[in-house]
Amino acid sequence: MKFVCYLFIAALVLFHCSAQNNDNDILIGASLLTMQDDFYITLDKGLHDTAAKIKEHHVIIQSRNADLKLSKQISDIEDFMMQNVDLLIVSPVSITALGPTLDEAHSRGIPVITVDIRSETGHVDCHIMSDDVKAGEICGEFAAELLNQKGKVGVITHPVLTSGINRVQGFRKTLEKYPDIQIISELNAESRREKAMSLMEDMLISHPDVDCVLGINDIMTLGAMASIEGAGRTEDVKAIMICGGQKEAFDRFRADDPCLKGAALVFPYIIGTTAVEKAMDLLQGKNVPNQVLVPVKLLTHENVDILQKEWSKQE
């Protein structure tokens, strides 16, 4: 009988300790647009690395890949809510359709931080993104210099995402200062390499006088470049990109690629670290800004070694 009582008391002690540990846990659900892109792989690493450094709490990040599918993202977020997560980090597949799901999280008292892509609907406590308008402006100025302020430019974009919209907005606004540069085509490749290849093939046929193409992310730019290379046009059609850090893009810059000339480099790792920092502020009742912009920098063949080291600095 004494042995049974001892086991019962020990079980109570273990349960009490376990409850204390659980009280110290913070569970964050992260629904990311895709995990087929180095940008989001690196952003996710920023989330996990920063969470691991927090000493006051045991911060657990559960990451899910939405795989560019709205239905999967909604299902993942609903599952997070069933788990009673303390906070959500989301890069929305749709800038409008996710609103009711985000509002549901808010009604349950779950703060929401969006990263990279802004949701135009639903309650969001803080949005963290690259300075995408600035990235477009950097590419616009580089294009003007590359073309000696005269030429015809195509754009490969993904206009259902706010990042894509803002990048093209900055690019267009900058080129308005150069009346002899004409944007002849703006095509939606849906952030898919194969579709960018196909659209670039069409552009080369319908606009054989195109001088330059802007791709608003690595994957689409590299797809467009494959078609330029296939057509033997690398000497007269140049590419500029918004670079999220795809290894192939860095490698091409380092190899002095004849087609790829410049990029606005964004820093997804910093987006991830900032998201966790703002998450902790929200959970501690601190005020956070509605939006945080992460700076971008011009990337060229000349500075690729320096900027890749800075981009890869993940302490």
Q: List the strands of the sheet with 126-130, edge to edge.
A: 58-65, 25-32, 87-90, 112-115, 126-130, 291-294
Give me the pLDDT at residue 9, please.
40
Q: How many CB atoms lie within 10 A of CB 269?
A: 23
Could you tell me the two tokens for 21? 């540990």
Give me the pLDDT at residue 315, please.
47
Q: DSSP string of 185-213?
A: EEEE-TT-HHHHHHHHHHHHHH-TT--EE
pLDDT tens, per residue, the chain with 315 residues = 444 444 444 444 333 333 334 667 999 999 999 998 889 999 999 999 999 999 989 999 999 999 999 999 999 999 999 999 999 999 999 999 999 999 999 999 999 999 999 999 999 999 999 999 999 999 999 999 999 999 999 999 998 888 899 999 999 999 999 999 999 999 999 989 999 999 999 999 999 999 999 999 999 999 999 999 999 999 999 999 999 999 999 999 999 999 999 999 999 999 999 999 999 999 999 999 999 999 999 999 999 999 999 998 754
**Greatest alpha-carbon span in the chain:** 94
The label of the residue with tokens 């046009």 reads 233
Give me the pLDDT at residue 162, please.
84
Write the CATH number of the domain with boundaries 2-127+268-293.
3.40.50.2300
Question: What CA–CA distance (Å, rounded) separates 241 from 206?
Answer: 22
Give me the pLDDT at residue 17, please.
39
Give me the pLDDT at residue 314, please.
56
Give me the pLDDT at residue 24, please.
78
Angle at 175 (CA atoms; ends 182, 39), nearest 5 degrees: 105
| Range(s) within the chain of domains with CATH label 3.40.50.2300 | 2-127+268-293, 132-265
Give me the pLDDT at residue 288, please.
97
pTM (two decimals): 0.85
Q: Can you name the CATH fold of 132-265?
A: Rossmann fold (3.40.50)
With beta carbons less than 8 A apart as the criterion, state whether 124 and 292 touch: no
SS3 258: coil
